[in-house]
Chains A and B, each alone.
Chain A
Amino acid sequence: MTDLLAARWLFGLSLVFHIVFAAVGVAMPLLMVLAEWRFRRSGSAVHLELARRWAKGTAILFAVGAVSGTVISFELGLLWPRFMAFAGPIIGMPFSLEGFAFFAEAIFLGIYLYGWDRVSPRVHLASGVAVAASGAASAFFVTLANAWMNAPAGFAMVAGAAADVRPFAAMFPPGWAEEVVHVLLSSYAATGFAVAGIHAALLLRHPGSAFHRAALGIALGVGGAAALLQPLSGDLSARSVAVNQPVKLAALEGQFETERGAPLRIGGLPDAERRETRWAIEIPRGLSLLAFHDPDAEVKGLSAFPREEWPNTRLVHLAFQVMVGLGTLLAALSAAWLLLRLRRREPPRLFLRAVALAAPAGFLALEAGWLVTEWGRQPYAVRGVLTTAGAVTPVRSLAVPLVAFTLLYLFLGAVTAVLLRRQIVEAPGGAAAAGGGAP
């Protein structure tokens, strides 16, 4: 394994790991605050118990997210010092603001988790709101930095170095709004459905449990709303990618030739050697329609770009199919949930089973989507400006930290799973929740 590949694996692994906890850190505080808010309004003991349980889960997940996020902030330099030397002054601003958002999240989470009996109910609830807001702000700022890597702006290249740096123009590069909205919605959808899936499974085991029904209501409310909005946001994102990152669009759609009235390909396997995507279901003019809202619009194919600037078409296309497929599934489940709610019907067992099975779908879609945006930008770290190979550290033997951190992440992931499982198993089931659960 070359050191470049080891660096990419290590950084990718760190982000694949951290991104789960980051998304949970955005969405879980909202669920927990909604549960506490219901309790404060109605005095429902079930909702208080729910807020406390969810807060414990959030505490574990946030701690792992805080330390794994710290690893990433250091790894930016440890693995990609040339990227940081170049990009630091240009996109440091959103990172710095993210630092303050992280501060706020940590401070108010401390007050929320340990302050149940130390601050007034109103201050407690307000702390929870501050955690949820600063979690969303963190994701907002970090995604701005990623948006800049995809569509760099706010500087000029003079003799191989950045000049005329405008930090605030760099902070809001083309396509920032689309990407930020997409990332925020994905956090709420993934977390909402993961939580809903767990409680749906438990509701199947303990039918009639008020506790799990309350949990399902809040988690599906948040996750479902996000999952229903996500296709709209995805459409906006795809159109922004079509304009700002045409190579990425061509790769994720498996579009090799430039053509008018390009078809939308569902599934299929791109073959970069033969320059075609085989075995896909093609919807005529679908891609032109979706990407440009015009069935005859011209879509640039990969052939329009030098071969060495292509990303790995197979990986990008497959990851994109996974993301869209799972997102569509979650949107369909959300629509079904909305219909059930409108008709004021209890969710049937078949629906609960589907939600339980879909528990990992949101996070798989989120990971796939992140891989699409990162793989799709290769060979560049900063599109068109700095290649990933040009950004890597001169330090050798990177396989050593790769192995060490892989083991560390496996260990942390396993322990987190065991502890969360125990929290969930010990949660009040069936009859216990209906009566008990008072503080």
Chain B
Amino acid sequence: MSPPDLLGAAILAALVLYALLGGADFGGGVWDLLASGPRRAEQRALVERALGPIWEANHVWLVLVVVVLFTGFPAAFAAISIELFVPLVLLLVGIVLRGAAFTFRTYDRPDDRVQARWGLVFSASSVLAPLALGVVVGALASGRLRVAAGGAEPFAWLAPFPLSVGLFAAALFAYLAATYLAVEAEGALRDDFRRRAAGAGLAVFGCALLAGALSWREAPAVFAGLTARGWSLPLHLGTGAAAVAAFAALFRGRVRAARAAAAIQVALIVLGWGASQHPYLVVPDLTLEAASAPRVTQVALLWALAGGGVLLFPALYALFRVFKGERPFAVVDRRRS
């Protein structure tokens, strides 16, 4: 693989991790917004406990994507920033309000009205951010952004397909979060999140159908990736199998297996998007190759990523080990002895 491809793969890998970790944190916010039933307060408390120690670290994956993009593919970073100015500003507003409101709620007075007010800002911005992020991804893949033309069309992204990807992202993150929270909950609260995971899973399915159907007319690269490439069928089979496994595990109460299957499902969806639009960073005008920084920069950046990763992953594991129990990424549901 050439340096541009390796760097592109690194960006995609970071985006997969951002979806699995940071995305799930936004999903937690969705479940704060949708908390209901007799255990509403417990649901919100669980979300808060689950996110508290880890959301800031999970958020850094996005910052890493940004810096790798502007170092390795500066032309793409400039073009994307110009073409997607509006959704990126909305994403930022969502990110700022989510993080700030979450922290303010933790350290503000414990009385209900104050907490409810921050909770509303936290949860509403947790919906806004994935919507905006999905719109950005959808617009990049759609072929609507004509970078080569040079002009800035501030609302080129505003079309059914990018919007459907926004909904898809929000549903995916909510689905992931519910499977994670089911592991961290116990008893009736766990059943609450098993039901929520199943409901969100259906919403994911619906959004996937909608986005897939819209891509036929609106995003030919994505549609070709869904139907016509050599890896299309194995990818669909893999994603479908993960989805079915997640549902089966949810019904049987094997929450760790369900969490792993859901994570695989989401990872395959993000990888599938990346594969569909390869070799383009912005379809159809800007390829990895065309947007590349000088080779010397890309090689140095790859080394920096490798070195940073060696330090980063053990530290991340320690973080999850401390706060998510002895087997933070377990797949098998052991019986309690």
Interface residues of A (CB under 8 A from B): 56, 59-60, 62-64, 66-71, 73-74, 76-78, 81-82, 84-90, 92-93, 95-100, 102-104, 106-111, 113-115, 118-119, 165-168, 393-397, 401, 404, 408, 412, 415, 419, 422-423
A258 to B7, CA, bound (A): 50
A70 to B58, CA, bound (A): 13
Q: Which residues of A contact B102 (CB under 8 A)?
A: 63
B240 interfacial by beta-carbon distance below 8 Å:
no
Given contacts A96-B64, A393-B81, could you give 12 more A-B pairs where the C-beta distance is less than 8 Å? A76-B70, A78-B89, A81-B77, A85-B75, A88-B74, A92-B74, A99-B68, A100-B64, A111-B322, A395-B154, A404-B89, A408-B93
Contact with A along B82-107 (1 / 0, CB 8 A): 10010011011101111110111011
Our pick among B66, B78, B311 for the contact of A74 (Cβ within 8 Å) is B66
A78 to B89, CA, bound (A): 8
B230 interfacial by beta-carbon distance below 8 Å:
no
Of the candidate stretches B24-32, B171-179, B200-208, B301-309, the one touching chain A is B301-309
Our pick among A63, A64, A73, A165 for the contact of B63 (Cβ within 8 Å) is A73
B56–A82 touching, CB < 8 Å:
no
Name B59's closest neighbour in chain A (CB-CB): A66
A100–B312 touching, CB < 8 Å:
yes
**What are the 3 tightest A-B residue pairs by CB atom distance, in nearest-first order?**
A92-B71, A77-B81, A89-B293
CB distance from A18 to the nearest CB of B (A): 11
CB distance from A27 to the nearest CB of B (A): 18
A85–B74 touching, CB < 8 Å:
yes
Name B295's closest neighbour in chain A (CB-CB): A165
CB distance from A107 to the nearest CB of B (A): 5
Our pick among B52, B77, B109, B296 for the contact of A85 (Cβ within 8 Å) is B77
B71–A89 touching, CB < 8 Å:
yes
Using known A-B contacts A89-B297, A107-B315, A167-B300, determine if residue A70 contacts B95 with beta carbons closer than 8 Å.
yes
Our pick among A64, A71, A98, A111 for the contact of B67 (Cβ within 8 Å) is A98
Q: Which residues of B contact A77 (CB under 8 A)?
A: 66, 70, 77-78, 80-81
A86 to B77, CA, bound (A): 11
Q: Which residues of B contact A115 (CB under 8 A)?
A: 53, 322-323
A103 to B56, CA, bound (A): 8
B297–A90 touching, CB < 8 Å:
yes
The tally of residues in B whose CB lies under 8 Å from a CB in A reads 63
B100–A106 touching, CB < 8 Å:
no
Our pick among B54, B300, B301, B312 for the contact of A110 (Cβ within 8 Å) is B54
B92–A107 touching, CB < 8 Å:
no
CB distance from A119 to the nearest CB of B (A): 6
Using known A-B contacts A92-B297, A96-B305, determine if residue A60 contacts B71 with beta carbons closer than 8 Å.
no
Name B80's closest neighbour in chain A (CB-CB): A77
CB distance from A25 to the nearest CB of B (A): 11
B224 interfacial by beta-carbon distance below 8 Å:
no
Our pick among A81, A110, A113, A119 for the contact of B78 (Cβ within 8 Å) is A81
CB distance from A164 to the nearest CB of B (A): 9
A59 to B319, CA, bound (A): 16
A61 to B97, CA, bound (A): 14
B328 interfacial by beta-carbon distance below 8 Å:
no
B34 interfacial by beta-carbon distance below 8 Å:
no
B322–A63 touching, CB < 8 Å:
no
Our pick among A89, A393, A395 for the contact of B74 (Cβ within 8 Å) is A89
CB distance from A430 to the nearest CB of B (A): 24
Using known A-B contacts A88-B74, A103-B57, A119-B322, determine if residue A96 contacts B67 with beta carbons closer than 8 Å.
yes
B60 interfacial by beta-carbon distance below 8 Å:
yes
B108 interfacial by beta-carbon distance below 8 Å:
yes
Our pick among B95, B100, B311 for the contact of A412 (Cβ within 8 Å) is B100
Q: Which residues of A contact B91 (CB under 8 A)?
A: 74
B72 interfacial by beta-carbon distance below 8 Å:
yes
A395 to B155, CA, bound (A): 11
A97–B297 touching, CB < 8 Å:
no
Our pick among B74, B103, B294, B305 for the contact of A64 (Cβ within 8 Å) is B103
In B100-147, the 8 Å CB interface with A consists of 100, 102-104, 106-109
Our pick among A56, A87, A393, A404 for the contact of B82 (Cβ within 8 Å) is A393
CB distance from A246 to the nearest CB of B (A): 30
A408 to B101, CA, bound (A): 12
B316 interfacial by beta-carbon distance below 8 Å:
yes
B241 interfacial by beta-carbon distance below 8 Å:
no
B70–A67 touching, CB < 8 Å:
no
B228 interfacial by beta-carbon distance below 8 Å:
no
Our pick among A67, A168, A393 for the contact of B300 (Cβ within 8 Å) is A168
B158 interfacial by beta-carbon distance below 8 Å:
no
A415 to B96, CA, bound (A): 13
Name A68's closest neighbour in chain B (CB-CB): B96
Q: Which residues of B contact A87 (CB under 8 A)?
A: 74
Q: Would you give 25 A-B contacts (Cβ < 8 Å), ordered by A?
A: A59-B107, A63-B103, A70-B95, A70-B96, A71-B92, A73-B63, A74-B66, A74-B81, A88-B77, A89-B74, A93-B297, A100-B308, A100-B312, A103-B60, A103-B316, A106-B57, A107-B57, A107-B319, A108-B315, A115-B53, A168-B300, A393-B81, A393-B82, A396-B154, A422-B109
Using known A-B contacts A74-B66, A74-B92, determine if residue A67 contacts B99 with beta carbons closer than 8 Å.
yes
In B290-337, the 8 Å CB interface with A consists of 293-294, 296-297, 300-301, 304-305, 308, 311-312, 315-316, 318-319, 322-323
Q: Which residues of B contact A67 (CB under 8 A)?
A: 95-96, 98-100
